[in-house]
């Protein structure tokens, strides 16, 4: 059966894509940001996921005011990088996994999550920047991707509680897929940032770090943070963090942090990154660098 073996949280600042594409990722400004992902890149080489369920948000690239799906799942074969105003990023196309994606769509919809099914769309920095952070600049992305797009751009976004519950349903869907697949789930966007208005530039390191503290462990209190708290504490774009809760919900009751990185600032944004392992106390039977550690309390 397919299994979710790890969850990854990461910011998606578009400037990081520019830094990667222009070879500036180790300069004075970007060096400390990218260095926080070195551990993950090495770990990923041992993990070798087959598929990533990549929870992200589109920024008016594939969708706009004409269509605003709350939750959408990509069931296509391929996705091209979007043109966000400066031409598409020079990164590989993203290969989908239609069989797994359709299976997840069916399971979620029959579980009463009314997903929008997308067969064709371009993917913007929300999806391609996390891929660059985790994999660098390969000729081809090393695994398939099931894009899961969440509306966090136009009010109202889904609640944190609904996102967490969607994650739980995704885990159930993955575990009922008969093929042996090593599946990761990524939650992207955040951390605190506000791009417009009188509070533009807002960053709240204390609140972000408390969020990171609470992402690991066996508490689910993050799911109950109301929208207004994200807006007050983490800024208008801090609401992107609800997407991390889909990832966290998919890891089960307890999760263990394997790696954590926080850096301020990057562009207008606080960078947060965490690698998590589901902590079900049973250990893992798939080969991998540190799967055994997940069994220890
Ligand atoms: C920035 C951050 C974002 O999340 C985004 O989507 C666009 C820009 C920024 O900090 O510049
Ligand atoms: Fe964003």
Q: Name the residue of 269, 270, 271 to mutate for ligand 1: max ligand atoms within 8 A of Cβ.
A: 269
Q: What are the tens digits of pLDDT across the range 5-27?
A: 999 999 999 999 999 999 999 99
Name 81's bridge partners: 123
pTM: 0.95
β pairing state of 94-95 and 144-150:
unpaired
CA 144 to CA 286: how far, in whole Å? Answer: 18
Residues 6+ apart with CB under 8 A from 228: none
Using the predicted structure, report yes or no on whether residue 297 has a pLDDT greater than 90. Answer: no
Known catalytic membership, residue 193: yes
Q: Which domains does the chain have, with CATH numbers?
A: 3-278 (3.40.830.10)
Q: For the CA atoms of 288, 290, 295, 297, what is the dihedral angle to 10 degrees?
A: -170
ipTM for the complex shown: 0.98
CA 268 to CA 262: how far, in whole Å? Answer: 14
- Tell me the three state secondary structure of residue 254: coil
Using the predicted structure, report yes or no on whether residue 284 has a pLDDT greater than 50. Answer: no
- Residue 291 confidence (pLDDT): 39
What percentage of residues in the chain have a pLDDT greater than 90?
A: 94
Mean pLDDT of 120-138: 98
CA 6 to CA 17: how far, in whole Å? Answer: 24
**Residue whose token pair is 């990524």:** 186
- Residue 290 confidence (pLDDT): 43
- Residue 282 confidence (pLDDT): 65
Paired tokens of 42: 């090495």
What separation in Å is there between the alpha carbon of 110 and the centre of ligand 1? Answer: 35
- Residue 175 confidence (pLDDT): 98
Active-site choice (97, 125, 261, 273): 125
- Residue 286 confidence (pLDDT): 44
Name 292's bridge partners: none
Q: Name the residue of 10, 14, 18 to mutate for ligand 1: max ligand atoms within 8 A of Cβ.
A: 14
Active-site choice (193, 261, 263, 273): 193
- Residue 289 confidence (pLDDT): 44
**Residue whose token pair is 């180790």:** 26
Q: Contact, 11 vs 192, CB < 8 A?
A: no
**In which band, very low, low, confident or very high, does the pLDDT at 281 lie, cut at 50, 70 and 90?**
confident
What separation in Å is there between the alpha carbon of 10 and the centre of ligand 2? Answer: 11
* DSSP secondary structure letter of residue 217: B
What separation in Å is there between the alpha carbon of 70 and the centre of ligand 1? Answer: 20
Q: What are the tens digits of pLDDT across the range 19-71?
A: 999 999 999 999 999 999 999 999 999 999 999 999 999 999 999 999 999 99
**In which band, very low, low, confident or very high, does the pLDDT at 295 lie, cut at 50, 70 and 90?**
very low
Using CA positions, which residue lies closest to atom 1 of ligand 1? Answer: 13
Using the predicted structure, report yes or no on whether residue 192 has a pLDDT greater than 70. Answer: yes
Mean pLDDT of 83-105: 98
Using CA positions, which residue lies closest to atom 10 of ligand 1? Answer: 268
Ligand 1 atom with minimal separation from the 59 CA: 6
- Residue 268 confidence (pLDDT): 96
CA 199 to CA 203: how far, in whole Å? Answer: 9
Using CA positions, which residue lies closest to atom 5 of ligand 1? Answer: 13
Mean pLDDT lowest among 96-105, 163-172, 227-236, 273-282: 273-282
**In which band, very low, low, confident or very high, does the pLDDT at 97 lie, cut at 50, 70 and 90?**
very high
Q: Is 54 exposed, middle or buried (0-12, 13-18, 19+ CB in 10 A)?
A: buried
CA 293 to CA 253: how far, in whole Å? Answer: 17
Mean pLDDT of 185-193: 98
Known catalytic membership, residue 125: yes
Question: Which ligand number lies closest to the CA of residue 268?
Answer: 1
For ligand 1, which residues put their CB under 6 angstroms from it? 12-15, 59, 193, 195, 237, 267-269
User: Can you list the alpha helix ranges (DSSP code H) found in 55-200?
Assistant: 98-110, 125-135, 160-175
β pairing state of 269-278 and 3-10:
antiparallel
Residues 6+ apart with CB under 8 A from 257: 215, 216, 274, 275, 276
- Tell me the three state secondary structure of residue 64: strand
């Amino acid at each position: 059966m397919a299994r979710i073996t790890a969850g990854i949280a990461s910011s998606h600042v578009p400037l990081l894509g520019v830094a990667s594409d222009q070879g500036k990722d180790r300069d004075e400004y970007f060096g400390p940001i990218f260095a926080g992902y070195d551990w993950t890149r090495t770990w990923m080489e041992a993990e070798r996921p087959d598929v990533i369920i990549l929870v992200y948000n589109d920024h008016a690239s594939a969708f706009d005011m004409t269509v605003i799906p709350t939750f959408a799942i990509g069931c296509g074969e391929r996705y091209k990088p979007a043109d966000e105003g400066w031409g598409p990023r020079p990164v590989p196309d993203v290969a989908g996994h239609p069989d797994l994606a359709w299976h997840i769509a069916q399971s979620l919809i029959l579980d009463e999550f009314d997903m929008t099914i997308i067969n064709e769309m371009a993917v913007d920095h929300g999806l391609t920047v996390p891929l660059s952070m985790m994999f660098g600049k390969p000729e081809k992305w090393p695994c398939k991707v099931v894009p899961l797009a969440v509306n966090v751009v136009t009010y109202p976004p889904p609640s944190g509680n609904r996102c967490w519950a969607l994650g739980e349903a995704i885990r159930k869907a993955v575990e009922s897929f008969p093929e042996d697949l090593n599946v990761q789930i990524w939650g992207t966007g955040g951390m605190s940032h506000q791009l417009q208005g009188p509070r533009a530039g807002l960053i709240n390191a204390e609140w972000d770090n408390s969020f990171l503290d609470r992402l690991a462990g066996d508490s689910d209190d993050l799911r109950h943070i109301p929208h207004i708290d994200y807006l007050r504490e983490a800024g208008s774009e801090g609401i992107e963090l609800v997407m991390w809760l889909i990832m966290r919900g998919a890891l089960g009751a307890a999760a263990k942090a394997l790696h954590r990185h926080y850096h301020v600032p990057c562009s207008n944004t606080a960078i947060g990154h965490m690698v998590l392992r589901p902590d079900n106390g049973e250990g893992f039977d798939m080969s991998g660098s540190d799967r055994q550690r997940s069994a220890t309390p």
